[in-house]
Amino acid sequence: MVKRKACVFISGQGSNLKNLISHSREKNFPINICLVISSKKNAHGVSYAKKFNIPYVIVDANDKNHTNKILYFLRKYKISFICLAGYMKIVSKRIINIYHKSIINIHPSLLPKFKGLNTFSRVLEKNEKKTGCTVHYVNNKLDDGKIIIKKSFNLIKSDNQDSLKLKTQKLEYRAYPEAIIKIFRNR
């Protein structure tokens, strides 16, 4: 199997990046992570790129030339698939159009509910019975593209923001690789 060359965009912890790197080392996983782009110099996730010898670049999204810079590196490493994993910046329309159907994101709620930030506190405020995570294609609207996979769990009385984050991330580590396998199984 020829694996697609993928890039993961991050801004923070990078636990999904770490999880995707370990999956991408499996023989039958459809993508190989060949590049990491971080919007922040000090993002902890960059340490995983270093540890696993994956090329990485820091592209400050406030830089007015950032789209060109990102596209330069995506071309240089022949990237044909993009995974956003905790990337806190808006991806430009140009990149989304070029990577149409080949750029995906993971979001910590059951979309279309709770788009945007601070999902866990809003889930608690609304007394939701269930929450979870969603992997979806990226389009030009925030957390809006076609859904690939959702995974959910039931809330319990003692849940707080920390417990919801832990439970949601545990599901994310299953959902993201499964979504990628699903995409390429159907192509």
| Of residues 10 and 149, the one with the C-beta less far from ligand GRF | 10
Q: What are phi and psi of 184, to 5 degrees?
A: -80, -20
What single DSSP character describes residue 101?
Answer: T
Residue with Cβ nearer ligand GRF (35 or 133): 133
Q: Which is nearer to ligand GRF, 17 or 70 (CB)?
A: 17
**Number of H-type helices and E-type strands within the chain:** 6, 7
Neighbouring residues of 17: CB distance < 8 A, sequence distance ≥ 6: 8, 10, 33, 36, 45, 48, 49, 85, 86
Nearer Cβ to ligand GRF (28/116): 116
60 Cβ contact partners less than 8 Å away, ≥ 6 residues apart:
39, 41, 66
Give min distance, CB of 129 to ligand GRF, in A: 20
Task: Show contacts with ligand GRF in window 80-109 (CB under 6 A).
Answer: 85-86, 106-108
Q: Smallest distance from the beta carbon of 16 to ligand GRF, in angstroms? A: 3
16 lies in the site for ligand GRF, by CB under 6 A: yes
Nearest residue to ligand GRF on Cβ basis = 86
The number of residues in the chain equals 187
- 35 contacts 54 by C-beta, under 8 angstroms: yes
Residue 152 binds to ligand GRF (criterion: CB under 6 A): no
Verify whether residue 107 is a known catalytic residue.
yes
| Distance, CA of 103 to CA of 32 (rounded, Å) | 14
Using the rule CB under 6 A, which residue among 4, 6, 14, 159 binds ligand GRF? 14
Using rule CB under 6 A, residue 13 touches ligand GRF: yes
**Residues tagged active-site:** 107
Binding stretches for ligand GRF (CB under 6 A): 10, 12-17, 45, 85-86, 106-108, 133, 169, 172
